[in-house]
Amino acid sequence: MSKHILPGSGTMIGVCATLIGLVKIMEPQIGPSRVDEYSAVASLFFLASAVASYTSMRKSQNRPLSERCESIADQCFLGGLVAITVIILFFAYEVI
pLDDT digits (tens, 9 = 90+) for 29-72: 988 889 999 999 999 999 999 999 999 999 999 999 999 999 99
Alpha-carbon span 42 to 49, nearest angstrom: 11
Q: What's the predicted TM-score (pTM) here?
A: 0.91
Answer whether residue 16 shows pLDDT above 90: yes
Residues 6+ apart with CB under 8 A from 64: none
Give me the pLDDT at residue 2, please: 85
For residues 39 and 87, the answer to whether their CB atoms sit within 8 Å is yes
8-state DSSP, 93? T
Burial class from Cβ neighbours inside 10 Å (0-12, 13-18, 19+) for residue 92 reads exposed
Domain ranges of the chain: 2-92
For residue 92, give the nearest of 35, 37, 46 by alpha carbon: 35
* % of the chain at pLDDT higher than 90: 85
